Amino acid sequence: MSTPALRQPLARVSGLSDHYRAVRSASLALTSPLSPEDLMVQSCPEASPGKWHLAHTSWFFETFVLREFLAAYREFHPDFHWLFNSYYNSLGDMPAKSLRASFSRPPLADILAYRTHVDTHIDRLLAANPNPEALRRITLGLHHEQQHQELLATDIKHALFTNPLHPAYLPPLAASPADSIAPPLDWIAFPAGLTQIGSSPAEERSAKDSREHEAEGPASVIDFAFDNESPRHTVYLAPFSLAARPVTCAEYLAFIDDSGYSRPELWLSEGWTTIRAEGWQAPLYWHPDTSTPSGWRIFTLRGWQPLDSSDISEAPVAHLSFFEADAYARWASRQTPGARLPTEFEWEHAAAQLPCPGPGSNLLESSNLHPIPASAASGLQQLYGDVWEWTASAYTGYPGYRPLPGALGEYNGKFMSSQMVLRGGSCVTPATHIRPTYRNFFPPSTRWQFSGLRLARDGQ
């Protein structure tokens, strides 16, 4: 089975129109191994059916771009305006999220026709030299779609895992990589001082975008940030060190084997309550398997893998809740005094000095669909891709934060409570969707994403 789009090298797109086509077709490529029935499954409250992702991302362009900026635009279907609204209360009522599993109608064929309809009209709009706000909205819509590509990958992983037959999304990679061992944990030190965090306000960037768009340069594609990354502002950092790579499965297994899940002193109170109520004994997708030496096998998008193979055990551990990441760090601090999760500011300060993505970053386009072991190289590795890294920072607004005006202001701002920030993207994040200032966020008990951790510690 071939998945051409996943393997497609990200050509430097020559402009927004090309990038639009590339992103939109990548969504379809992701669903190509899946049947209409697969695209119906909604296996946990966090997830949505794949078909819904395909529809909702089109809805976003129709609602925020075509209805506002394309003269005489006619909607594909009069009900889709409310049917595929996710959570924008300003636009009116919408179906409860749990109802999405009942959307057998419209059939997949209609959703694909909806996508074509939207694409045709975006093409028409782009050909008509639209105003800068329309271009900004299209760019936002593409990043929105890329977020949903990642969600589609993680949701289908959960759906296939929930199916008692545990089918694989794709077959295992034909040639297994040579036996690789993650390098010993190294620490990179950073001195104290003031640093600049976040992205410039959208209006400043957009002025720049607008000029660049005239020049048809690719920068307009890359130079994007969500409102929650603004404004760029000053933060004081005390001296700290950052681990050169994320924590691996093998390291995490040592925590498990040291009774990590049975020692309340290692856990936040809410975390302890959670793991006991849920019966968690290991990361999501780990399953006891007495037929393997390690005693574990792990479910991946390419099927079950024994934890014993080094490409699994030496890869960054994924599908941790914040509570588990935090407990691991507390456990590690017994050997490495001061070991903890980094703040999002420490993380960004370190990451800003590196190319994004890096040369070997394991992102969606690499088609691994799973984290891979770090290389033997020295210095900071795997900041981008592999696993989202839980930080010690709660998700709140930056000083002077202003949401976008109108319904788009609901995109990020209204989730600023009881969630933690994650940084760096994962193995299913599209390469053009990640950047040093990107703030992902989830409630601390969330595990269905590729979420892991990198240690930090105080001082140099």
Span 216-235, contacts to its own copies by CB under 8 A: 233-235
Question: Buried b / exposed e across 85-119, counting CB within 10 Å, b at 16+?
Answer: bbebeebeebeeeeebeebeebebeebbebbebbb
Residue with tokens 């009209």: 121
Task: Provide, rounded to whole angstroms, the least separation between the CB of residue 34 and its own copies.
Answer: 8
Sheet of 420-423, strand order: 440-442, 420-423, 388-394, 451-452
* Contact call for residue 32 and its own copies (CB under 8 A): no
Question: Buried b / exposed e across 34-45, counting CB within 10 Å, b at 16+?
Answer: beeebbbbbbee
* Contact call for residue 342 and its own copies (CB under 8 A): no
For residue 320, give every residue at least 6 positions away whose Cβ sits within 8 Å of its Cβ, in sequence order, or none: 252, 283, 284, 328, 390, 447, 451, 452, 453
Task: Pick the closer one to its own copies by CB: 221 or 275.
Answer: 275
User: Which range in 25-33, 178-186, 262-270, 294-302 contacts its own copies by CB under 8 A?
Assistant: 262-270
Q: How far apart are CA 406 and CA 416, in angstroms?
A: 18
Angle made by CA atoms 243, 246, 249, in degrees to the nearest 5? 135
The interface with its own copies within residues 358-417 (CB under 8 A) comprises 392-394, 396-397, 399-400, 409-410, 414-417
Which of residues 108, 134, 142, 282 is near its own copies by CB under 8 A? 108
| Cα torsion angle, 19, 23, 29, 35, sign | negative
* Contact call for residue 444 and its own copies (CB under 8 A): yes
Which of residues 27, 31, 42, 437 is near its own copies by CB under 8 A? 42
Task: Provide, rounded to whole angstroms, the least separation between the CB of residue 406 and its own copies.
Answer: 9
Task: Pick the closer one to its own copies by CB: 35 or 116.
Answer: 35
Task: Pick the closer one to its own copies by CB: 326 or 365.
Answer: 326
The residue type found at 46 is E
Nearest CA among 400, 427, 458, 14 for reference residue 216: 14
Binding mask 65-104 for its own copies (x = CB under 8 A): --------------x---x---x-xx----x---x-xxxx
Binding mask 415-434 for its own copies (x = CB under 8 A): xxxx-x--------------
CB half-sphere exposure, 167, CA atoms < 13 A: 10
Task: Provide, rounded to whole angstroms, the least separation between the CB of residue 79 and its own copies.
Answer: 6
User: Which range in 41-49, 136-144, 180-188, 434-442 contacts its own copies by CB under 8 A?
Assistant: 41-49
Q: Residues touching its own copies: how many (CB under 8 A)?
A: 71
- Indicate the SS3 state at residue 338: coil
* Contact call for residue 261 and its own copies (CB under 8 A): no
